[in-house]
Amino acid sequence: MKRETDDIKVVKELQEAKECIKAEVSKVIIGQNKVIEELLIALISGGHCLIIGVPGLAKTLLVSTISQVLSLKFNRIQFTPDLMPSDITGTDILEVDSESGKRSFRFIKGPIFANVVLADEINRTPPKTQAAMLQAMQEHEVTAGGVTYKLEQPFFVLGTQNPIEQEGTYPLPEAQLDRFMFNVLIDYPEQQEEIEIAKTSPGSMRYDLKKVIDRKRIIALQELVRRVPVSDSLLGYAVRLVSLSRPGSVDAPEFVKEWVSWGASPRATQYLILAAKTHAILDGRYTPGIKDIKEIVAPVLRHRIITNFNAEAEGVTTDRIIQLLLEKMKE
């Protein structure tokens, strides 16, 4: 009982911290409030994000700014066709002792050894290199020369993809996409926001950012999220919502059978519940509800519902299907 009382107190503190985080980030990033909140939800949930957006929308600046505010080590990796797995994970180098002449190998850690890793244009590198990155995401460790190195927690990967230029890319298979908790869309700013952006020159501004919470606090919050209770009715809602996305399901609506090749897996249900809990505590509530599911369902299911040729021909997006699924749940 005491732990639950303490947890509720922490939830209230986190709600205040969230507002401070958003205030600090907004010193640098104009607009994109929903994107900032989705990144925070994924981070505190212990998940990874895939970010889709055209060049020039400040994706790198956004991620590095959040890292500064949260006192986390940040690394950016530019994925290219010639990138090797060792360029990400690190490599062994041969050293010779100047006195004894003895030779030994020493492991030099790669850029994956950070709290926040921005995998820029992750689909521009071959599958072998993608696999090295995705293994680290799944296992939170790197193996080199027969030695396994644990990655420091929290460990948060943000992979970006350019939705326009697909020539010379290696699209992530669905099984690898499924390892990303969220698929976050970054859209163009509103007109007034773009006016504010236009007043500044690229790279000319320097900001004094206050650190709101630290690494140890984030780890404690990740543990708190997993203790948050969930009602059976909410679990049932999440399970039914995900199952309706599968064209082979008995209760699948006609639009799913017409437009969807493959629906979301049980992992999607797990992430729905986890993200709903995090959304609730960021909002100052200790117990999640259906409205929390509705707020985070799009980034969770967006890359897990695989549409078919009919949907492509009719211009139907996964976001449209998700909206129809939510409407179906009201019936």
Q: What are phi and psi of 131, to 5 degrees?
A: -65, -40
Does pLDDT of 260 surpass 90?
yes
Residues 308-322: tens digit of each pLDDT: 999 999 999 999 999
pLDDT at 284: 84
CA distance 41 to 208: 24
Packing angle between helix 266-282 and helix 215-227, nearest 10 degrees?
A: 120
Task: Reply yes or no on whether the pLDDT at 204 is more than 60.
Answer: no
Do residues 66 and 111 touch, judged by C-beta distance below 8 A? no
What integer pLDDT is reported at residue 63 of this predicted model?
Answer: 87
Could you give the maximum distance between any two Cα atoms of the chain, in Å?
79
pLDDT band at 294 (very low <50, low <70, confident <90, very high): very high
Using alpha carbons, select from 85, 96, 86, 162 the residue that is nearest to residue 124.
162
Least confident of 94-108, 125-139, 285-299: 94-108
Residue 163's pLDDT band, with cuts at 50, 70 and 90, is: confident
pLDDT recorded at residue 311: 92
Q: With bands split at pLDDT 50, 70 and 90, how would you rate the model's confidence at 300?
A: very high
Amino acid identity, residue 275?
A: A
Buried b (16+ CB within 10 A) or exposed e, 74-107: bbbbebeeebebebbbbbeeeeeeeeeeeeeeee
- For the chain, domains (ranges, CATH) are 1-227 (3.40.50.300), 229-331 (1.10.8.80)
Looking at residue 321, what is its pLDDT? Answer: 95
Whether the predicted pLDDT of 190 surpasses 60: yes
Tell me the pLDDT of the chain averaged across its residues.
85
Q: What integer pLDDT is reported at residue 301 of this predicted model?
A: 95
Report DSSP state, residue 142.
E
